[in-house]
Amino acid sequence: MFKGSLVALITPMRADGSVDEAALERFVDWQITEGTHGLVPVGTTGESPTLSHEEHRRVVEITIAVAAGRVPVIAGAGSNSTAEAIDLARHAKRAGADAALVVTPYYNKPTQEGLYLHFKAIADEADIPVVIYNIPGRSVVDMSVETMARLAKHPNIVGVKDATANLARPLQVRRACGAGFCQLSGEDHTAVAHLASGGVGCISVTGNIAPRLLSEMHLAWQRGEVADAIAIQHRLVPLHDAMFAETNPGPVKYAAHMLGFGEPDCRLPLAPISEATRGQLRAAMVEVGLLN
């Protein structure tokens, strides 16, 4: 259903902190022109925790309108409130998204049964394909393979964005959920290794600023040109390192600003990145060939 290089989009903003809709439109079109295979607005990288519901919906609508069916759009629809997640997923369907990305509920710390009931309710009520977003580093809960296998039986639950960086996990999920369950990495450093373990793509942070290289890497893998895919992954390591030198999306917002897409800073409580990280970013972008 989804494969290749998908990008966890930033939300460009103006100097006053408002969403820069014109920059977002340019950015989405540039991503597609550069070869990105799918767009994922209003996830964590899109600053969903600090967007209002109105802004959230507007970003989804703009992304879908500019994409115009050229690539699939998986709209962020996560919340630690099941009712709120259902509402956001319903909006994603009305807006024309191809799927909803739903994160495991953060802060509440639900049990595995709670996770199962949360995702089942969203899949039942919103009636849109759902991609589970498993990121224990942010949500503090880790969906077990057993729970994922239960959910994979639901016709509307189609895959997972796996940000565990546990490379045994895609092997286990494939065995439990079947080859048709869409496994997307959520961790740039291990994207190729995840492909080798049963994945079909990656929802990338680095793809915001290096979409062409990430697209070429995944296309090389799909053609069986494994050595070429690995070579691109090695080339991107300093950029991946810089992207996560501070809390995401601080570094990637600054990097996108250097490419002309929006202001450099995130909304509070994320502080502007340090001078040291700015220097690391610039050096990595020069090394990879994104800046002169």
Q: Could you tell me if residue 257 is inside a domain?
A: no
DSSP string, 135-204: -HHHHS----HHHHHHHHTSTTEEEEEE-S--TTHHHHHHHHH-TTSEEEE--GGGHHHHHHTT--EEEE
Q: Could you tell me if residue 77 is inside a domain?
A: yes
Q: Could you tell me if residue 238 is inside a domain?
A: no
Task: Report pLDDT for 224.
Answer: 98
Task: Report pLDDT for 1.
Answer: 81
Between strands 201-204 and 157-162, the pairing is unpaired
Helix/strand/coil percentages in the chain, nearest 5: 50, 15, 35
Q: Could you tell me if residue 279 is inside a domain?
A: no
- The CATH number given to whatever domain includes residue 110 is 3.20.20.70
**Which pTM was predicted?**
0.97
CA distance 258 to 176: 43
Q: Could you tell me if residue 239 is inside a domain?
A: no
> Using an 8 Å Cβ cutoff, are 182 and 2 in contact?
yes
Task: Report pLDDT for 70.
Answer: 98
> Using an 8 Å Cβ cutoff, are 185 and 191 in contact?
yes
Would you please indicate which residues are annotated as catalytic (active-site) residues?
A: 133, 161
CA distance 178 to 175: 6
Task: Report pLDDT for 233.
Answer: 98
The pair phi, psi for residue 216, each rounded to 5°, is -65, -35
Residue with tokens 């994603």: 92
Task: Report pLDDT for 252.
Answer: 98
Q: Could you tell me if residue 152 is inside a domain?
A: yes
CB atoms within 10 A of CB 227: 7
Q: Could you tell me if residue 243 is inside a domain?
A: no
- Two tokens at 215? 């697209």
Q: Could you tell me if residue 273 is inside a domain?
A: no
| Domain, as residue range, for 25 | 4-224
Q: Which residues of the chain have pLDDT under 50?
A: none
Task: Report pLDDT for 231.
Answer: 98
Total of domains in the chain = 1
